[in-house]
């Protein structure tokens, strides 16, 4: 099999000549093809079948212990001008990067099959979607790409129709950490990955294409590719508002995307609909509103900490047709990870007899891959070719102090500053010291494919005549009291805060204007059935002027890191807030 598109055939032929595979297989995405790949992986040990009674069609993959996470320090953006990549990325000269990768790829697929994987990011017939082709020597990657993207014959037909696609070349190589690189060539719309079989390093449609390359495409074409969940909030009158929200890792993005309303809200008729939990592509519509699609078709979620208590919707979709990576296993072959309320691990993520002295049963970054359609809160609006209209954009991080429970940006420029200056305290999910405040603009620090200064300017460019832009909010579910306890219950109760936001969108709620933004009064948040002291709620909604003055100084330093590429309007907005604080 081959393509009707000469450019695609030529590229596949050139890769085959370089990597020298024993065979080439063009993927069609069919059930039969997937069944053959699963049988192959069961035979060679890449997959282990889990309990067929409790988890039909579920499999476990154990990756190399030195290949368990994204490798930011080995991830490069290769542009002709280093300033285009910006200080927020590792840069390498494109010619140097190609020479380095060609040397690694030479003959690397001998003894292996080369899989050609055509895929579509987004609904197959959406004008907002973009296509790519990943060449890989990993059947595990093929099986995951089938869940995570619209992969196969329909995607190939669209590529042949449009004539353009993102080129992704991946080889697991020898899984040597010293011979591992993920290169992005945005000017060529291409990605090259070598030496890792893990997740975002190997599933090139995910962060590599859908954020790093897509953010570059989006800037050129006038849209936004963002690290955001998309959730629909339906009120008792049946009105649905869609919210896009950006949070760094370990701040509850998936939980918010699959939120279950508190009991009183459920009784009243509130519903929550999941469009996506990780990536959002937004484009202006004819009516001036931003319309969003989730470019992914599945969830690649962190398993540890996911439980009936924290995310019952996620648990409900993981008992069939799922791939688990680096989780523990019970004696009767069920997947297990820390945070689960039942069962006990017999084997750890490396396949050894479980011994708590050796560490957790599941790797802290253990994952599940599952179709989005299996989520109980899934909405078929996720397949709407036009996308869903976004009423509000939310930025959030983990801050023990200073940042209120919620604030509304004064206007779009203020909102862009809120996103650009977003910060979060480090958690055990990242190496290094815990509790350090780190700037992570729009939660895109690891994923923006170009200079943050230019990225901020691109965001500002949407504020133009005829646009009906969403309101922008900042939230902080993680404020702590003097004893170090969380002051806000979080999880489903976050809907109480979203309710106020959406009332602001529709003009049904008031706010207190402060220099840092508009805040609800305590009585504006519905606390019925919630055990929270009035003094605690008042503190959650207070503005610490001295603390904010220091924050504004830190924000000024951060914006200066991007030199003359930082938009003057953003600096002026920071100055305005600082002046208002006195």
Phi, psi of 24 (to 5 degrees): -120, 130
Q: Is 494 assigned a ligand-binding role in the annotation? A: yes
Q: What is the mean pLDDT of residues 556-566?
A: 98
Strand 90-91 with 113-121, pairing: unpaired
Say yes or no to pLDDT of 3 above 60: yes
Q: How confident is the model at residue 252 (pLDDT cuts 50, 70, 90)?
A: confident
Q: What is the pLDDT of residue 434?
A: 66
Q: What is the mean pLDDT of residues 75-81?
A: 98
Please check whether residue 261 is in contact with residue 495, taking contact to mean a CB–CB distance below 8 angstroms. Answer: yes
Write down the residue that tokens 């402060």 correspond to.
Answer: 514
Write down the residue that tokens 């080995």 correspond to.
Answer: 74
Instruction: Give the chain's length.
Output: 582
Is residue 300 classed as helix, strand or coil in its secondary structure?
strand
Q: What is the pLDDT of residue 474?
A: 98
Q: What is the pLDDT of residues 182-195, one digit of tens each?
A: 999 999 999 999 99
Q: What is the mean pLDDT of residues 231-246?
A: 98
Q: What is the mean pLDDT of residues 241-267?
A: 94
If DSSP states are collapsed to H, E and C, what string results for 306-332? Answer: CCCCCCHHHHHCCCCCEEEECCEEECC
Say yes or no to pLDDT of 433 above 90: no
Q: What is the mean pLDDT of residues 11-20?
A: 98
CA atoms of 85 and 79, how far apart (whole Å):
6
Per the annotation, the verdict on 251 as an active-site residue is yes
Q: How far is CA 79 from the centre of its chain?
A: 24
Q: What is the mean pLDDT of residues 255-270?
A: 96
CA atoms of 422 and 443, how far apart (whole Å):
8
Q: What is the pLDDT of residue 552?
A: 98
Is residue 126 classed as helix, strand or coil in its secondary structure?
coil
Q: Which two tokens stand for residue 310?
A: 């924290």
Q: Which two tokens stand for residue 78?
A: 């290769």
Question: How crowded is residue 310: how many other Cβ atoms within 10 Å of its Cβ?
Answer: 16
CATH second-level architecture of 226-297+380-581? Alpha-Beta Complex (3.90)
Q: Where are the strands (E) in 338-448, listed by range?
A: 345-347, 367-371, 388-396, 406-408, 423-425, 437-439
Write down the residue that tokens 């930011």 correspond to.
Answer: 72
Q: Is 366 assigned a ligand-binding role in the annotation? A: yes
CA atoms of 481 and 567, how far apart (whole Å):
37
Q: Please count the helices (runs of H) and the strands (runs of E) in the chain.
A: 17, 30
Q: Which of 563, 562, 572, 568 is nearest to 452 (CA)?
A: 562
Q: Measuring CA to CA, how many Å separate 133 from each of 115, 117, 203, 252, 523? A: 10, 5, 11, 31, 53
CA atoms of 432 and 286, how far apart (whole Å):
46
% of the chain surpassing 70 pLDDT: 98
Q: Is 326 assigned a ligand-binding role in the annotation? A: no
Q: Which of 119-123, 197-201, 369-373, 574-578 has the lowest mean pLDDT?
A: 197-201
Say yes or no to pLDDT of 353 above 60: yes
Say yes or no to pLDDT of 53 above 60: yes
Q: Which two tokens stand for residue 343?
A: 């069962």
Write down the residue that tokens 């579920």 correspond to.
Answer: 58
CA atoms of 281 and 128, how far apart (whole Å):
8
Q: Is 384 assigned a ligand-binding role in the annotation? A: no
Q: Which two tokens stand for residue 410?
A: 């004064």
Q: Is 199 assigned a ligand-binding role in the annotation? A: yes
Please check whether residue 375 is in contact with residue 257, taking contact to mean a CB–CB distance below 8 angstroms. Answer: no
Q: What is the pLDDT of residue 430?
A: 53
- Looking from the CA of 486 toward its CB, the CA atoms found within 13 Å total 11
Q: Please name the helix (run of DSSP H) or strand (run of DSSP E) that holds residue 573, with its range, or none.
A: helix 568-581
Q: Where are the strands (E) in 7-106, listed by range?
A: 23-26, 48-49, 59-61, 75-77, 90-91
Q: Is 70 assigned a ligand-binding role in the annotation? A: yes
CA atoms of 264 and 257, how far apart (whole Å):
20
Q: Is 491 assigned a ligand-binding role in the annotation? A: yes
Class of 298-374 in CATH: mainly beta
Would you give the DSSP letter of residue 71? -
The rounded mean pLDDT for the chain is 96
Q: Is 267 assigned a ligand-binding role in the annotation? A: no
Q: What is the pLDDT of residue 428?
A: 52
**Domain boundaries of the chain, sorted by first residue:** 6-47+75-221, 226-297+380-581, 298-374
The CATH code that applies to domain 6-47+75-221 is 3.40.449.10
Write down the residue that tokens 């815990």 correspond to.
Answer: 434
Is residue 261 classed as helix, strand or coil in its secondary structure?
coil
- Same fold across 6-47+75-221 and 298-374: no
Q: How confident is the model at residue 69 (pLDDT cuts 50, 70, 90)?
A: confident
Q: What is the pLDDT of residue 435?
A: 73
- CA dihedral angle for residue 249, residue 250, residue 255, residue 261, rounded to 10 degrees: -120
Q: What is the pLDDT of residues 208-232, one digit of tens each?
A: 999 999 999 999 999 999 999 999 9
Q: Is 255 assigned a ligand-binding role in the annotation? A: yes
Annotated catalytic residue within 27, 58, 208, 251: 251
Say yes or no to pLDDT of 535 above 70: yes
CB proximity list for 99: less than 8 A, separation 6 or greater: none
Q: What is the pLDDT of residue 436?
A: 82
Q: Which of 9-23, 255-269, 432-446 has the lowest mean pLDDT?
A: 432-446
Left, alpha or beta for 229 (phi > 0: left; psi -120 to 50: alpha)? beta
Q: What is the pLDDT of residues 127-174, one digit of tens each?
A: 999 999 999 999 999 999 999 999 999 999 999 999 999 999 999 999
């Amino acid at each position: 099999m081959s393509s009707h598109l000469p450019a695609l055939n030529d590229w596949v032929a050139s890769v085959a000549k370089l990597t020298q595979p024993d065979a080439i297989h063009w993927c069609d995405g069919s059930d039969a093809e997937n069944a053959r790949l699963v049988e192959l992986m069961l035979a060679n040990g890449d997959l282990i079948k889990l309990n067929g009674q409790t988890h039909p069609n579920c499999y476990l993959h154990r990756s190399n212990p030195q290949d368990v996470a994204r490798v930011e320090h080995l991830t490069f953006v290769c542009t002709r001008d280093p300033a285009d990549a910006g200080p927020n990325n590792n840069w390498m000269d494109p010619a140097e990067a190609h020479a380095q990768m060609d040397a690694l790829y030479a003959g690397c697929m001998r003894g292996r099959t080369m899989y050609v994987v055509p895929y579509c990011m987004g609904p197959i017939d959406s004008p907002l979607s973009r296509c790519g082709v990943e060449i890989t020597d990993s059947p595990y990657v093929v099986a995951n790409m089938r869940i995570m993207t619209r992969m196969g014959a329909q995607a190939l037909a669209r590529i042949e129709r449009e004539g353009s696609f993102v080129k992704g070349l991946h080889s697991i190589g020898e899984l040597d950490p010293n011979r591992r690189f993920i290169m992005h060539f945005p000017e060529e719309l291409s990605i090259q990955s070598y030496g890792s079989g893990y997740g975002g390093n190997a599933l090139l449609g995910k962060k590599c294409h859908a954020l790093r390359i897509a953010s570059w495409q989006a800037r050129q074409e006038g849209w936004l590719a963002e690290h955001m969940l998309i959730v629909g909030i339906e009120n008792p009158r049946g009105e649905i508002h869609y919210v896009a929200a950006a949070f760094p890792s370990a701040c509850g993005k998936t939980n918010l995307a699959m939120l279950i309303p508190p009991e009183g809200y459920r009784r009243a008729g509130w519903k929550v609909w999941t469009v996506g939990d990780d990536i959002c592509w937004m484009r202006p519509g004819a009516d001036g509103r931003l319309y969003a699609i989730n470019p992914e078709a599945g969830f690649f979620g962190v398993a540890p900490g996911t439980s009936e208590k924290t995310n019952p919707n996620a648990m409900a979709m993981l008992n069939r047709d799922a791939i688990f990576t680096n989780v523990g296993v019970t004696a009767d072959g069920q997947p297990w990870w820390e945070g689960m309320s039942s069962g006990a691990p017999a084997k750890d993520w490396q396949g050894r007899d479980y011994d708590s002295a050796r560490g957790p049963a599941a790797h802290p970054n253990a994952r599940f891959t599952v179709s989005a359609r299996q989520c109980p809160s899934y909405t078929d609006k996720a397949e709407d070719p036009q996308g869903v209209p976004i009423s509000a954009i939310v930025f959030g991080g983990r801050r023990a102090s200073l940042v209120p429970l919620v604030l509304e940006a004064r206007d779009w420029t203020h909102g862009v500053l809120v996103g650009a200056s977003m910060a979060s305290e480090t958690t055990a999910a990242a190496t290094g010291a815990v509790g350090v405040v780190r700037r992570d603009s729009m939660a895109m620090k690891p994923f923006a494919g170009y200079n943050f200064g230019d990225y901020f300017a691109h965001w500002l460019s949407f504020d133009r005549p005829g646009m009906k832009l969403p309101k922008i909010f900042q939230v902080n579910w993680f404020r702590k009291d003097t004893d170090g306890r969380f002051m806000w219950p979080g999880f489903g109760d976050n809907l109480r805060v979203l309710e106020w936001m959406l009332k602001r969108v529709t003009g049904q709620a008031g706010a207190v204007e402060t220099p840092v933004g508009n805040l609800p009064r305590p009585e504006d948040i519905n606390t019925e059935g919630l055990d929270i002291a009035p003094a605690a709620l008042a503190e959650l909604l207070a503005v610490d002027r001295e603390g904010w003055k220091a924050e504004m100084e830190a924000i000024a330093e951060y914006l200066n890191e991007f030199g003359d590429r930082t938009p003057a309007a953003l600096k002026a907005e920071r100055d305005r807030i600082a002046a208002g604080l006195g």
